[in-house]
Every structure is written in C-alpha cells, then in structure tokens.
Structure 1
C-alpha cells in the first residue's frame, strides 16, 4: 500500500475509485463502495480475508463491514457480509479533498488506463457467476400479473402486493464504472448511492431512497416510504397532490411498522409524517419513526426489527406471507438482491441498512434494471407499468 496526497498527485475521485476497484477485482476480493444521503464522502470496504461470508444478521455482534441480503426470505436467513479488511474514505468536495491523504493499493499498470482494465475484469467475474441472461418483462405479462393479483385483492386474500419487472439494456462500449458511480452521487444527493461486487455472486450498482433500519448511538430509526408520482415543475414538493390510492398505500406501510413494534411490546416511539419527499425525478410519501434504545432498554432493536421488517409491505405486499407466495408463483424471474437490503455495519458507531431499490445488476455486456409498483384495489394496470418505467429510468439513463 502507499499513501498519496491528492494535491501532490493530482488524483481525481474517479482515479482513486478505479485504483480500489481494479485491485479488488484483480485479487478476486469482495468490495463495497457507497455514499450516504446528504454526504460528501465516498467510502470503500475491501474484504481480503479470502472467504465469502454468510451469516445470520445479529448486527450488534458483527465487526465493521457491509451487509447484503437478497429479497427472498431464504430458509437459512443468511446475509452476505463483507468484513472491512480495508476501509477507505475520500471527499467529493474539492475544498475539503485538496490536501487529503489517500491510501492506494499498489498496481502494475498505468493509472490512466485503469477504467479500461476494469470492465474486462468485471465481465470475467460476472461470466464466472454462471447465470443466464433473462428477457425483459413485457408490458402484456406485467399487466396480466397486476390483474391476477387485483382479483385476489377483491377476494380479500391480499390488501396489497408489489409486482416487479426487469429491463435489459446493453452496456455502452465506453462504460466507466467509477464515473457512473460518481455521476449517481451528483445526480441523487439524497440517495444511498452504492456499488458492490461479491465474486461468483453478483455486481450491483444503485441509488436507493429508502432506509430500512438505522442505529446511531442510542437511537433506532426506520421509515415508511410509499406512493409515487413524477416530480414536475420548478417546485415539485409544493405542487404535489396525492390520490387516495397512494395515501392508503403509504398508510399500509406505516401500519406495518407500528404492528411490528406491537409484536415486541414496544410502545414508546416517535412518528413524524407522512410528508412528501423527492427522490431524483420522483416524489414519494414518507413517515419517519424513532426509538430511544436506552430509554426502552432495547439495545438489540436493530437486529430484531431488521428480521421483522424485511421484506416490507412496500416491496412485497400485505399480508406478507400471501403476497410472497403470490410473487413466488407468478413472477417470472429471480429478484436476487433487488428489494433485498444492504448497507454499512458498525462503522463510526452507526449501522444503516437500506432497501435495495433503484438498482441495476451488471451482467457481462448487459445491465438488468429492476423496478416494482405497489398494487391495491384502486390500481390501474397501465399506470403501474408507467410507474415502473419511471423507476427503471432513474438508473437506466446512466447506461445509455
């Protein structure tokens, strides 16, 4: 390893990121890169332990690292965990980063050609995953799925379900992973921008607006995020108007959180909202919940609520079991990590786990975009298709 001062070496953010991406891919190491909402810092974790770790997420007992869990509630309930053999941070603000000392791995090629060397390494790693490329979901198939679920809602089997769809795009010839990540940071300052690569498992990049759970010091936080409409005009928050469908959908997610509090006899919590929030080119309704873990004598609340909440009604449906069974039977593709969860664990007295939304899977020379839509009795199949198109475009436009 070597430590360089950016001011002396004229390193740009994409070059720093490329150094670590190249070294991790070349060494066949898991790597996670992220930028927290409203932050100017990029963080990187490289796990050079030589093993792919699967574990039950008892967050309070884990070392510093990064966790990734698929959507499906697997029988062993195990998540992937990247232990922080290395944890690197650098600033995106020129005024703060000018004289920053950055630790860089030793590399054997010209730093200026790193971005060209990364794509073949990424492709090679992805080819070794042995997954066949799916086909994009057709409008007819998606709307048929929505109609099937709505029939069950009318019968009282479910009150809501969240069907998903995929779009497959070719990666551009000049695809630059580091620059794509940094462009997402610039475009979506309030999102959790992330990239992770686990050898023989997957490579994903995204910008999610939704926190699943956060523990910081003595406080636990979560949110209910649902309802979607385009952000229109110079002041979209002031001009937002919500239909009964979206209000009911968001209330369902809030009620789901409160019901889980009741399951563990937790009565002391703050609820703020719902309020309209902007995530890129979309607006959502959000309610925030906070618990004082010291006052309630519940230090393990993060792990307990993570298990209870995932997958939430915002990405699965309600009741959860019936919605999961419906999706397992009728969705024609594996969601993998889409609508699962991911995030940094036990870093600087904080663990923040996000729902893996607005995300894309890198697969060879293609990228798979994923999006879902909340369907209730008031839904219109064509509008749900349009909503998923808007959501896919949030990430998809960076690969065109």
Structure 2
C-alpha cells in the first residue's frame, strides 16, 4: 500500500493516524490505530506516537502503532503561488502591545527572553489533505514533516526544524535553535547581536540544566541552518544517559524549550499563559515516536497548523529580548505565516 492510500484510508475511516517524514529522508512512515480510543499519554515506558501540548498541565495523547508502514516519497513539482497577506490592524496592534509588554517585563524583571506567539485563521474551501502534505514535504526537505489525526481531537499538520530529544542505545541528542532571518541566497549571512544573544541564551540554558544530569555532554559550534525560506542559528548537543527513566527527566527539563517559551522557563511561561490571550494547544508542544525500534524521537511542534471546519488555524511566534523592536517582531510573524500559507 502506498502512503497516500494509507492516509486516505485512515482519514476516511476516522481512525487515529500519523504520517511523518524525518529530516533529509525520502520515505514516509505511517502509524494507524485500529480503534478510535483516545489514549492519554503519561507513561514514558509506553510505545507509540506521542502528541503533547505546550502546557504540560493539559492532556497529551498516544496513538498506538497497531499498523505501521513505510513508503518511498516521490519528488513533487508544484506551482508557487503568492498569497496576499490581508493584514488585520486589530491583530497587529494587539500583538505589538503584547510584545511591548514582554519587552518591559524583561527590562524590569529577571526574565531575559519571552516567546510571544499568535494564531491566524485562513478560510479554505477545498482543503486537500494529501496535496498539502505533499507540498509541505517538497518545500521542507530538511524538516520533520507530519500530519496527525484523531477523530476526537482533530487534524494537525506541520514542518518543524527543531528536535526536542532523540535517544538511542543510551545516547541522546538535542539542539539549541534560535534567531531568525529571511534566506536571501546566502547560507553564511551576518547575524545581529539580538539573534546571537538569543541563541547563546538557549544553548547556555540547555547546558546548565543537563550537565549535572547526563554524561559526556558536548555542544557543537553554532551553525546557520535553512528551514524553508528562513534561516536559524543552531547548536547540536549530545551526551549519554543511564536509564530509560532518564528520558522523562530530560523531556521535563527541556520542554517547553527556550526557543518556544523563554528564560527563565517558569517565569516566561507564566507571562505567556497570562498575556497571549489564546490557548496554544499543541502548537509549541512536542510530538514523535517513543520506544519504537529501540528509539525515541521527539520534535518541537513548530511551523504547524490545525484544520477545523474549512478553516486553517496557523500558529506563529518569535523570541523577545531586551533588544527587540515590537514592529519588527510583528513582521517576523507575518513572514512565518506567509511560508505556511504558500502550501495551502
């Protein structure tokens, strides 16, 4: 069975499923659960596919791998269409006000970074799940590209550049990912002080929280990576863990990452929950396989959207520091939403 047939079958039969493509891989993995039971995830010894929200006080879910397939991905050709951004002044002023509030909070308190996000709704009359998924895979070859569905929760799709945690044979890897600029043909651009500082904050946070918990902790040099038409700064982080139960500890330490929440984590998270004026739900949560083929592989749910009643709900955000300029932060979220709109 081809992955397209598997996805269509599961979606039409209203069976929980997930299809995903790993970064720089040319095959799609499909996991289908035979019944429509909504299984809550709270045990890191379980096996299956995890879909967890930003706020760990909310419920995470597990899709059981009753059926598991892999299939080669073909190359796709799509026309690139420009989608006009219909800027809403109310939305813009609301976002800018929250960003200004975040900057003031950073200046007045010990908080050094807050990630401020927003959602945007786009009406679609003829949403084609497979076509959009294929476009995402074509546009983001080096991202983790997924479509997740449960009849009792809904349909989510995305192409994330950020690994939360990978564990295999006692070795783990994660990354510090921060800073954003548009790709203009140069993979070695000049980065500003704000982006470099933001990246250093994230790397320092992960190092500080992991060095007393794991062994052989190593951080790579900072590199520029491309995700669609955006560039980011990334540090690869590796080490060793002792036991299976350490995975739960690492996830608790890392999630939500400074790239989607801020620093210090609890204070920035409190600001987000009190000021963003909407529920992030699974946006900036994490997702991926747990204990499948002796491996656990979680990604941060970025560059994602939800499909509800002929409406696409996009989620975009940006890291705010003391150096941020509110208007530019708004423009960054517009650029990020345009990238997602280009595949719809």
TM-score, with length taken from structure 1:
0.79
Displacement after TM superposition at 1:263 (Å): 4.9
Displacement after TM superposition at 1:24 (Å): 2.0
Name the SS for the 2:259 alignment partner. coil
Matches within 5 A, 1:24-35: 24-35=10-21
Q: Is the 8 A contact 1:168 1:368 kept in 2?
A: yes
Q: Is the 8 A contact 1:207 1:395 kept in 2?
A: no
1:48 is matched with 34
1:261 is matched with 210
1:71 is matched with 54
Q: Is the 8 A contact 1:260 1:305 kept in 2?
A: no
In the alignment, structure 1 residue 335 sits paired with structure 2 residue 318: no
1:377 is matched with 322
Higher deviation after alignment, 135-144 or 332-341:
135-144
In the alignment, structure 1 residue 90 sits paired with structure 2 residue 71: yes
**Cα deviation code 1:60-109 (max 9, x no counterpart):** x222x21100011216xx52000101001100158xxxxxxxxxxxxxxx
1:129 is matched with none
Aligned pair partner of 1:283 in 231, 234, 238: 231
In the alignment, structure 1 residue 62 sits paired with structure 2 residue 7: no
Measured in 1, the distance between the counterparts of 2:168 and 2:90 equals: 40
**Cα deviation code 1:320-372 (max 9, x no counterpart):** 11111111111111111000000122333322100000001101111011111
Measured in 1, the distance between the counterparts of 2:310 and 2:74 equals: 32
Which structure 2 segments of 5+ residues have no match?
76-87
Measured in 2, the distance between the counterparts of 1:137 and 1:372 equals: 17
Say which structure is richer in helix.
1
Measured in 2, the distance between the counterparts of 1:256 and 1:346 equals: 27
2:165 is matched with 213
**Cα deviation code 1:90-149 (max 9, x no counterpart):** 00158xxxxxxxxxxxxxxxxxxxxxxxxxxxxxxxxxxxxxxxx997110000001111
Name the SS for the 1:151 alignment partner. helix
Displacement after TM superposition at 1:279 (Å): 0.8
1:366 is matched with 311
2:83 is matched with none
Aligned pair partner of 2:187 in 223, 237, 260: 237
2:146 is matched with 194
Aligned pair partner of 1:160 in 93, 110, 113: 113
Q: Is the 8 A contact 1:29 1:47 kept in 2?
A: yes
**Cα deviation code 1:302-326 (max 9, x no counterpart):** 3221111101111011111111111
Displacement after TM superposition at 1:202 (Å): 2.1
Q: Is the 8 A contact 1:220 1:302 kept in 2?
A: no
Matches within 5 A, 1:91-240: 91-93=72-74, 138-173=91-126, 175-233=127-185, 236-238=186-188, 240=189
Aligned pair partner of 1:303 in 248, 262, 266: 248
Which structure 1 segments of 5+ residues have no match?
5-15, 95-134
Measured in 1, the distance between the counterparts of 2:184 and 2:267 equals: 36
Aligned pair partner of 1:348 in 290, 293, 316: 293
Q: Is the 8 A contact 2:7 2:30 kept in 1?
A: no
Name the SS for the 2:343 alignment partner. helix
**Cα deviation code 1:266-300 (max 9, x no counterpart):** 3521110211111110110000111133xxx3444
Q: Is the 8 A contact 2:36 2:151 kept in 1?
A: no
2:195 is matched with 246
